[in-house]
């Protein structure tokens, strides 16, 4: 049961990240086409900036949950490496709980802002796209991140209590600077 | 409680959480939110948590970050790194330590299309480490060479860290790239010199390889023209004002994708891997930007940055000594932290201080990026060291740590030159006026 | 005990709105309250300097006072933005006083619910600036890509035949230089502030439009202050403050005028005849704009517009 939930969450995060990267490829294509058209006939794509901003919102926020699951978010493990299994689990539990709290708060209060802006009828500068479209990836990505963190907290708590590691397959992490 | 006291407590809490392996972005975000709550009330924090993540990612200029990441990932997958290494090797492989110098050269060339140090180190490690081991190079020299060469990924533009600095301090990205170019080449030359001197003193470190004849050299060169074209298009386009850095990143990513397609190195599996790698890196960078923005909201309302500027001003020191102190501070901090977090964490304090002392923000940007990149190869926590160790079976931290000492010396020489001769950084951007 | 007020401004700390207006205002408040009130200013680039957040953050109480641009976020304050209609007003003084009268009379007041309005103002009628193409008649605008500050001006430029482009003011210089923009509409002051004179060739003084700004305080915060502090704030704001903006904008424009003079580039003033022709051709656009905001629920849009015209005529006399 728990294993199945893990697998679903893992697949969901990975697919969400891929959807985000499709947005990134879209931003790449729109910007490149815009530049080429501008050089050819001196008129680019109308509202290209509005579209690229929407795609980058998608790319950024839909990629964040995967970062949590792959433990790709930059952390300093110097001290925790000296801990035993239970000590490490305690540190993991703390990190996961704080991550869940922060990402959950971002989703929760972000929803307030999104609803308020929808009420005002806020739109993008050139194309007049509803700001709600820009909010959807943020709310999705941060809520999913919170969920991933809850899952990691449960795993860490399991190890902390039983002393056994929860065996969930992990994708390789690749944190970069 | 007054802002300053709360700010100091917040810093202690922040470093405590980071030491307990809480991701840096989460630690900054949580401390920023809790501190902001205590200082400014719950309504304020609710608004900040709701609006800051949106406003942090929304600006158009930020699209440059994931696009440069994408470009580097495609370029690595197109096999460009291997062609680059072979080309440089064909010319200097027959000298003592020639393979190591070739690795530095290939890192520099790859850095010209990749925006990230870790990606450069990881990519070149796959290519160059087995070669050097096979030719009897000492692990100490071989591993440290690639770790140091990896930092050229950021020092030579394009560079994600330079973009972040430019955006946060409202400097022109194009000018910052131009400013970093000569210092990046200087770093390359000094790293090569570090290899040369080590092998001259101890020939066993890196034995000479057989000389490649001119036909072989030309053949190797033919495989790398695409890199030159891509770099020329992206950086040249920015430099002559053909398009903005944001547009250059998109064109560069599209160009690298095109190269990978032409070289037929891109299967669906590899393409999806590229996307996964880009997602992990971009998600990590954006989350750090969000965490930092939340932290900065709190820090600014504590009044600490203003106080720091005031107090340091009252010291009455010569600005150059304050700068030297900052450099030492960053090198020490860099032993324990990664470069992006270091910049984001300290910039709200350091930037007002530095500009109040009358230093040029572009010049300081080059110094700052250089000095935080040193942190990537200082033990115990050096991300490049870890990347090389992860990619090299049987390599221990003590071995690579001893190897990097010579490169750290090269870094110190470079920093001194950059500080003493501002023209190294400021001459190229001055031509863009 | 000292009270600390946070003031945010969407313009940079070197901008005259901060140097000539907000900083002296803060100093006067401190003096009037005998040092009881301290002020922290958060300009552009700081935590609270975002142009699109000013209204929300002062309503939420994140800052206590905010100076913002009425047109951003797009369409939030349709009543006030009637002031931005083309060819309505020429001087900052008339525009600012008109805005204040409309506010005092309740015509636009509901857009400021939850806020204590300290002042409303608008800049002197702006110019049309171009590189490469000189504009002297309406037809010259055909197809030019011009950066626009608000929706009303976008509609104006569109109906005059130009292509409006929305972008933050800070990006205009770079895009002019690259040629992705052919020009922009700005008051003189911004030509100086953003160094645009370096990349512009022609300036047309069309007296075509203005842009409105607000300087507002969180009402709950105001109500929570001691009475003597409230009285000091009242004394320093409202009509007394609004009256200062005409002379201020005149002064701020001087820097831009001097910059342009130094470049030697021509400044052409639109002839009265041509101005009437533009105004006439814009009548359908103004109608369409008023229709649009009426459809948004501003049922008295036409009455506000007529009243603004009357007030402007009175003040510009
Ligand atoms: Na690079
Ligand atoms: Na380090």
In angstroms, the CA C284 to CA C291 distance is 10
Over residues B151-171, the pLDDT tens digits come to 998 889 888 888 888 877 878
CB contact under 8 A, B340 and A49: no
Strand spans (E) along C16-125: 37-42, 65-69, 115-122
Query: Is A100 part of any domain?
Result: yes
CB nearest to B60's CB, from A32, A52, A110? A52
What's the token pair of residue B144? 């440290």
**Residue holding tokens 């209609």?**
C85
- B297 and C50: CB-CB below 8 Å? no
Enumerate the residues of chain C whose CB falls inside 8 A of the CB of residue A123.
Answer: 74-75
Rounded Cα distance, A80 and B75, in Å: 36
Instruction: Spell out which chain C residues touch chain B, with contact meaning CB-CB distance below 8 angstroms.
Output: 6, 40, 42, 45-47, 50, 52-53, 56-57, 60-62, 170, 174, 177-178
Two tokens, residue B351: 């930037």
Residues of A in contact with C76 (CB under 8 A): 120, 122
Maximum Cα–Cα distance across chain B: 74
Tell me if chain A has a CB within 8 Å of the CB of C75.
yes
Per-residue pLDDT at B433? 57
A32 lies in some domain? yes
> Could you give the CA distance from residue A105 to residue A142 in angstroms, rounded to a whole number?
9
Measured from the alpha carbon of residue B110, the closest ligand is: 1
Residue C241: CA count within 13 A, CB half-sphere: 27
Cβ atoms of residues B164 and B123 within 8 Å: no
Residue A89 in domain: yes
Centroid of ligand 2 to alpha carbon of B1 (angstroms) = 35
Q: Which chain C residue has the Cα nearest residue A38?
A: C180
DSSP C102-171: HHHTTSSGGGGTTEEEEEEEEPSPPEEEESSS---SGGGGTT-EEEESSHHHHHHHHHTT-EEEE--GGG
pLDDT for res C178:
67
What subunits make at least 3 CB pairs under 8 angstroms with B? A, C
Asked if A125 lies within 8 A of C166 by C-beta distance, the reply is yes
Query: Considering only alpha carbons, which residue of chain A is nearest residue C72?
Result: A125
**Which residues on chain C are in Cβ contact (under 8 Å) with B352?**
none
Closest residue of chain B to A100, computed from CA coordinates = B26
Size of interface B-C (CB pairs under 8 A): 38
3-state class of C39 per DSSP? strand
**Contact present, B80 and B259 (Cβ < 8 Å):** yes
Task: Work out the angle between the directed axes of helices B173-201 and B160-169 (0-180°, nearest 10).
Answer: 140
Instruction: Look at residue A94 in the predicted model and tell me its pLDDT.
Output: 96
The answer on pLDDT for B61 being more than 80 is no
Q: Which domain holds residue A158?
A: 2-162
CA of B234 to the centre of ligand 1 (A): 11
Q: Does the pLDDT at position A177 exceed 50?
A: no
Q: What is the pLDDT of residues B214-232, one digit of tens each?
A: 888 888 888 788 878 887 8
For the whole model, what pTM was predicted? Answer: 0.82
Closest Cα of chain C to B140: distance in Å?
A: 46
Which partners does chain A have (≥3 C-beta pairs < 8 Å)? B, C
pLDDT confidence of residue A175? 39
Q: Give the Å distances, CA to CA, from B230 to A36, A38, B109, B203.
A: 16, 20, 11, 37
Closest residue in chain B to residue A141, using alpha carbons only: B283
Distance from Cα B156 to the centre of ligand 1, integer Å: 5
Interface test with B, best of A36, A76, A80 (most B CBs within 10 A): A76
Q: Hey, of A60, A70, A133, A171, which one would you mutate to test binding to chain B, going by the most B CBs within 10 A of its CB?
A: A60
Q: Which residues of A85-107 are buried (b: 16+ CB within 10 A; e: fewer)?
A: eeebbbbbbbbbbbbbbbbbbbb
ipTM of the complex: 0.83
Is the CB of residue B33 less than 8 Å away from at least one CB of chain A? yes
Count the neighbouring beta carbons within 10 Å of the beta carbon of residue B244. Answer: 24
Nearest chain A residue to B390, by CA: A174
Q: Is the pLDDT of residue B307 over 90?
A: no
By C-alpha distance, the chain A residue nearest B151 is A177
Residues of chain C whose pLDDT is less than 70? 178
Q: Which residues of A touch B233 (CB under 8 A)?
A: none
Structure tokens at B78: 């197109």
Residues of B in contact with A37 (CB under 8 A): none
Is C178–B243 a contact, with Cβ atoms under 8 angstroms apart? Answer: yes
Tell me if C167 and A49 make a contact (CB, 8 A cut-off): yes
B36 token code pair: 């902001």
Listed ranges B124-133, B373-382, C130-139; the one with the highest mean pLDDT: C130-139
Under an 8 A CB cutoff, do A64 and B60 touch?
no
Report the range of poorest mean pLDDT among B18-32, B37-51, B294-308, B360-374.
Answer: B294-308
With CA atoms as reference, report the closest residue to C77 among C65, C59, C63, C61. Answer: C59
Extended strands (E) in B302-400: none
- Do residue B57 and residue A173 have CB atoms under 8 angstroms apart? no
Asked if residue A172 belongs to a domain, the reply is: no
Model confidence pLDDT, tens digit, residues C108-145: 999 999 999 999 999 999 999 999 889 998 899 988 88
Q: Is the pLDDT of residue B306 over 60?
A: yes
Quote the mean pLDDT of chain B: 86
Number of domains in chain A: 1
Q: Which of C118, C121, C84 is nearest to C99 (CA)?
A: C121
| Residue whose C-alpha is closest to residue B61's, from B166, B175, B179 | B166
Asked if A126 and C165 come within 8 Å (Cβ–Cβ), the reply is yes
In chain C, what are the helix, strand and coil shares in percent, each to the nearest 5?
50, 20, 35
Residues of B numbered 109-138 whose beta carbons fall under 8 angstroms of chain A's beta carbons: which are they? 116-119, 122
The answer to whether residue B282 neighbours chain A at the CB level (below 8 Å) is: yes
- Specify which residues C67 forms β-bridges with: C9, C215
- End-to-end CA, chain B: 48
Q: Among residues A128, B44, B165, which one has the least CA distance to residue C53? A: B44
Q: Residue B272: its chain A contacts at CB < 8 A? A: 18
Q: What distance in Å separates the CA atoms of residue B391 and residue B174, rounded to the nearest whole number? A: 34
Distance from CA of C297 to the nearest CA of B (A): 27
CB contacts under 8 A, B 390-429 vs A, are none
Q: Which ligand minimizes its atom distance to the CA of B111?
A: 1
Q: Which chain B positions have a beta carbon within 8 Å of C57's beta carbon?
A: 47, 51
> Looking at CA atoms only, how far is residue C233 from chain A in angstroms?
30
Query: Inter-chain contact B48–C42, Cβ cutoff 8 Å?
Result: no
Q: Give the pLDDT score at A172.
A: 46
**Residue C123 CB-half CA count within 13 A:** 23
The alpha carbon of A166 is separated from its chain's Cα centroid by a whole number of angstroms, namely 23
Residue B1, token pair as written in the block: 């409680």
Asked whether residue A168 is assigned to any structural domain, the reply reads no
pLDDT at A176: 33
Helices and strands, number each (H, E), in chain A: 4, 0
Assess B157–A contact: CB distance below 8 Å, yes or no: no
Q: In this predicted structure, what is the pLDDT of residue A168? A: 54
Rounded distance between C-alpha atoms, residue C71 and residue C185, angstroms: 15
Contacts of B72 (CB under 8 A, 6+ apart): B113, B114, B115, B116, B119, B120, B153, B256
Is there a contact between B55 and C47 if contact means CB atoms under 8 Å apart? Answer: no
Q: What gap in Å lies between CA A132 and CA A120, rounded to an integer?
A: 11
Residues in chain C closer than 8 A to B300 (CB atoms): 42, 46-47
Nearest residue of chain A to residue B277 (CA atoms): A174
The reply to whether B377 touches chain A by the CB within 8 Å rule is no
**Of residues C45, C60, C177, nearest to B170 (C-beta):** C45
In terms of Cβ atoms closer than 10 Å to its own Cβ (0-12, 13-18, 19+), residue C196 is: buried
Task: Tell whether C24 is within 8 A of chain A (Cβ).
Answer: no
Chain C residues whose beta carbon lies within 8 Å of the beta carbon of residue B242: 178
Model confidence at A43: pLDDT above 80: no
Number of helices (H), then strands (E), in chain B:
24, 0
Which pLDDT does position B279 carry in this prediction?
Answer: 92
């Amino acid at each position: 049961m728990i294993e199945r939930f893990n697998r679903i969450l893992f697949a969901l995060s990975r697919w969400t990240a891929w959807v985000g990267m499709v947005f990134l490829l879209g931003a790449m294509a729109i910007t490149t086409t815009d530049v080429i058209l501008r050089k050819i006939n001196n008129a680019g794509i109308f509202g290209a900036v509005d579209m690229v901003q929407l795609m980058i919102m998608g790319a950024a926020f839909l990629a964040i949950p995967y970062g949590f699951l792959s433990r790709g978010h930059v952390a300093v493990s110097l001290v925790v490496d000296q801990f035993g299994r239970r000590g490490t689990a305690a540190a993991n539990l703390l990190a996961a709980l704080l991550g869940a709290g922060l990402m959950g708060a971002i989703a929760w209060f972000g929803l307030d802002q999104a609803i308020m802006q929808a009420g005002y009828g806020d739109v993008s500068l050139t194309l007049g796209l509803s700001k709600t479209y820009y909010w959807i990836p943020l709310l999705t990505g941060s809520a999913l991140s919170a969920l991933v963190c809850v899952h990691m907290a449960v795993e860490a708590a399991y190890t902390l209590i039983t002393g056994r590691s929860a065996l969930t397959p992990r994708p390789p992490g690749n944190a970069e600077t | 409680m007054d802002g300053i006291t709360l700010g100091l407590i917040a810093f202690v809490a922040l470093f405590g959480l980071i030491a307990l392996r809480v991701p840096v972005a989460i630690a900054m975000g949580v401390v920023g939110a809790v501190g902001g709550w205590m200082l400014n009330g719950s309504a304020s924090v609710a608004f900040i948590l709701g609006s800051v993540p949106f406003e942090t990612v929304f600006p158009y200029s930020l699209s440059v970050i994931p696009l440069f990441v994408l470009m580097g990932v495609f370029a690595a997958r197109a096999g460009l790194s291997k062609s680059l290494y072979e080309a440089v090797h064909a010319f200097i492989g027959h000298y003592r330590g020639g393979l190591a110098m070739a690795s530095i050269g290939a890192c520099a060339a790859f850095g010209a299309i990749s925006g990230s140090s870790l990606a450069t180190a990881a990519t070149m490690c796959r290519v160059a480490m087995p070669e050097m081991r096979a030719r009897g190079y000492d692990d100490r020299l071989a591993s440290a060479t690639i770790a140091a060469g990896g930092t050229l990924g950021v020092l030579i533009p394009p560079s994600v860290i330079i973009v972040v600095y430019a955006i946060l301090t409202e400097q022109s990205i194009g000018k910052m790239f131009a400013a970093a170019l000569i210092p990046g080449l200087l770093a390359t030359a000094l790293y090569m010199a570090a290899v040369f001197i080590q092998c001259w003193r101890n020939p066993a470190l890196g034995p000479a390889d057989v000389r490649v004849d001119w036909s072989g050299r030309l053949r190797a060169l033919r495989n790398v023209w695409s890199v030159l074209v891509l770099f020329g298009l992206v950086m040249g386009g920015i430099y002559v004002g053909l398009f903005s850095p944001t547009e250059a990143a998109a064109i560069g990513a599209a160009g690298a994708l095109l190269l990978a397609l032409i070289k037929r190195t891109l299967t669906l599996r590899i393409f999806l891997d590229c996307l996964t790698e880009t997602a992990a890196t971009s998600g990590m960078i954006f989350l750090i930007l969000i965490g930092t923005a939340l932290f900065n909201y709190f820090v600014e309302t504590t009044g600490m940055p203003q106080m720091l500027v005031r107090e340091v001003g009252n010291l009455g020191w010569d600005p150059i000594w304050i700068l030297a102190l900052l450099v030492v501070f960053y090198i020490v901090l860099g032993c324990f932290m990664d470069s992006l977090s270091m910049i984001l964490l300290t910039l709200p304090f350091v930037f007002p201080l530095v500009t109040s002392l009358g230093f040029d923000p572009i010049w300081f940007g080059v110094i700052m990026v250089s000095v935080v990149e040193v942190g990537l190869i200082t033990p115990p926590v050096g991300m490049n060291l870890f990347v090389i160790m992860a990619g090299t079976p049987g390599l221990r931290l003590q071995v690579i740590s001893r190897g990097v000492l010579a490169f750290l010396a090269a870094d110190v020489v470079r920093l001194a030159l950059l500080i003493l001769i501002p023209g190294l950084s400021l001459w190229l951007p001055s031509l863009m006026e | 005990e000292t009270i600390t007020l946070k003031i945010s401004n969407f313009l940079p700390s070197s901008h005259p709105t901060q140097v000539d207006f907000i900083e002296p205002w803060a100093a006067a408040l401190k003096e009037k309250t005998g040092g009881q009130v301290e002020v922290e200013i958060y300009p552009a680039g700081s935590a609270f300097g975002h142009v699109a957040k000013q209204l929300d953050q002062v309503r939420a109480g994140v800052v206590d006072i905010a100076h913002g641009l009425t047109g951003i976020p797009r369409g939030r304050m349709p009543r006030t933005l009637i002031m931005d209609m083309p060819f309505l007003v020429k001087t900052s003084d008339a525009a600012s006083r008109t805005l204040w009268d409309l506010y005092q009379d309740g015509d636009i007041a509901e857009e400021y619910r939850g806020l204590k309005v300290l002042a409303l103002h608008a800049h002197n009628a702006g110019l049309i600036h171009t590189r490469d193409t000189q504009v002297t008649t309406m037809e010259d605008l055909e197809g030019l890509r011009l950066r626009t500050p608000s929706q009303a001006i976008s509609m104006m430029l569109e109906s005059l035949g130009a292509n409006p482009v929305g972008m933050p003011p800070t990006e205009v210089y770079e895009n002019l230089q690259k040629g992705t923009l052919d020009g922009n509409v700005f008051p003189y002051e911004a030509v100086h502030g953003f160094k645009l004179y370096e990349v512009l060739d022609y300036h047309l003084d069309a007296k075509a439009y203005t842009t409105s700004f607000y300087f507002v305080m969180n009402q709950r915060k105001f109500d929570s202050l001691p009475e003597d502090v409230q009285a000091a704030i009242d004394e320093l704001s409202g009509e007394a403050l609004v009256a200062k903006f005409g002379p201020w904008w005149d002064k701020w424009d001087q820097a831009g005028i001097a910059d342009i003079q130094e470049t030697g580039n021509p400044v052409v003033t639109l002839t009265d005849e041509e101005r009437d022709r533009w105004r006439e051709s814009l009548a359908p656009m103004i109608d369409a704009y008023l229709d649009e905001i009426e459809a948004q629920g501003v049922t008295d849009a036409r009455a506000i517009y007529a009243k603004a015209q009357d007030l402007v005529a009175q003040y510009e006399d």
